[in-house]
Amino acid sequence: MDSEIIIEIEHIAKIYEMGVEQVFAIRDISLTLRRNEYIAIMGPSGSGKSTLMNIIGCLDTPTFGKYHFNKMAVEEMTDDELAQIRNKEIGFVFQTFNLLPRATALKNVELPLVYGGYSSSAREEIAIKTLEHVGLADRMMHKPNELSGGQRQRVAIARALVTNPSIILADEPTGNLDTKTGEEIMKLFNDLWKQGNTIIIVTHEEDIAKHAHRIIRLRDGLVERDEINTSPIEW
């Protein structure tokens, strides 16, 4: 499994200044991620999972350390270059879905393509295909408040997928869903992984993490354990 390296993190730290106090959200983490890996990041609340995700997703930058994304040095990038990486290479899925409430499912999924400069007809075509892919062909014209939690998360996943990114980052994607719906979403991630996507999921539930093939456990901003899951749950 020596596929191409997508992410290479060397000794990063993230420090938040809270007045005079310094909070070490990440103390010292080094990681290497390859194409088509399926990873779960686990750890107790406050252990730095979200911070790490944001850094991997180029939404945030580390205070110290080096980060290479597809061999490009992220710490040297401008804000606009980071925005472009987020747009083309990264698909975010959030616990709270983070859809635009006034826009239809279709418009939400089209949004990354708007910033990617696609024409309106191309946008619509790709977005429809992606929504069909996540099983929402019949809900495209609904607004988020007309959809169930599971459907909303599918819209969010479609939005993450629509630009065909190098990696999908999901921060507690089942945190706001009941167990059954959560399982359905995990099945969708499993399908996406089988189709060749690279997936990182943050969770604090063992049941969710068991789907992944590699589990990274964080504690106090450090990697506590980084192990291969020899028997991932498959469908």
Partner 1 sequence: MKFTEFIETIKLAGESMRGNKMRSFLAALGVVIGISFVILTGWIISGLDNALEETINLIGQDMIYIDKWDWTGGKNWKLYEARKDITLKQAEEFCSRMKGAELAVPLVRKWSVTIKAGNDSYDGISALGTRYSYSQTPAASIQEGRFFSIFEDQINTNVIVLGSKVAETLFPEGNVLEKIIIIRGQKFEVIGTVKKQGTMLMDFVDNQVFMPVGAFMDVFGGQMLRSAEVGIKVGNMDNIDEIREEARGIMREIRNLQYYQDDDFSLNETKAFEETVASLRAYVWGIGIGLTMLSFIVGIIGIMNIMFVSVAERTREIGIRKAIGAKKASILMQFIVESAALCFFGAVISFVLCSTVIFLAATFLPKVWEATSFLKPVMPFQFLILGSVVSIIVGILAGLIPAMRAAKLDPVDSLRYE
Ligand X SMILES: Nc1ncnc2c1ncn2[C@@H]1O[C@H](COP(=O)(O)OP(=O)(O)O)[C@@H](O)[C@H]1O
Residues engaged in binding partner 1 (CB under 8 A) = 54, 57, 59-60, 79-80, 83-84, 86-88, 92, 94, 98-100, 102, 111-112, 114-120, 123, 159, 163
C-beta closer to partner 1: residue 65 or 144: 144
Query: Taking the complex as a whole, how short is the minimal distance between the CB of residue 234 and partner 1, in angstroms?
Result: 30
Residue closest to 98 by CA, chosen among 161, 171, 5, 31: 171
- Tell me: does residue 50 bind ligand X (CB under 6 A): yes
- Tell me: does residue 23 bind ligand X (CB under 6 A): yes
Cα 12–Cα 75–Cα 89 angle in degrees, nearest 5: 100
The full DSSP string for 179-195 is HHHHHHHHHHHHHHHHT
> How would you label 192-216 residue by residue, b for 16+ Cβ within 10 Å and e otherwise?
bbeeebbbbbbbbeeebbebbbbbb
- Interface residue with ligand X among 2, 18, 119, 230 (CB under 6 A) is 18
Distance CA 172, CA 53 (A): 11
Report what 43 binds from partner 1, Mg ion, ligand X, none; CB cut-off 5-8 Å by kind.
Answer: ligand X
- Tell me: does residue 95 bind Mg ion (CB under 5 A): no
Asked if 105 contacts 132 with a C-beta cutoff of 8 angstroms, the reply is no
- Tell me: does residue 48 bind ligand X (CB under 6 A): yes
Span interacting with ligand X, options 4-12, 15-23, 27-35, 141-149, rule CB under 6 A: 15-23
Joined together, the tokens standing for residue 124 give 């619509």
- Interface residue with ligand X among 6, 25, 29, 162 (CB under 6 A) is 25
C-beta closer to Mg ion: residue 25 or 140: 25
End-to-end C-alpha distance for the chain, whole angstroms: 21
Alpha helical stretches, state H, 35-104: 49-56, 79-89
Report what 21 binds from ligand X, Mg ion, partner 1, none; CB cut-off 5-8 Å by kind.
Answer: none
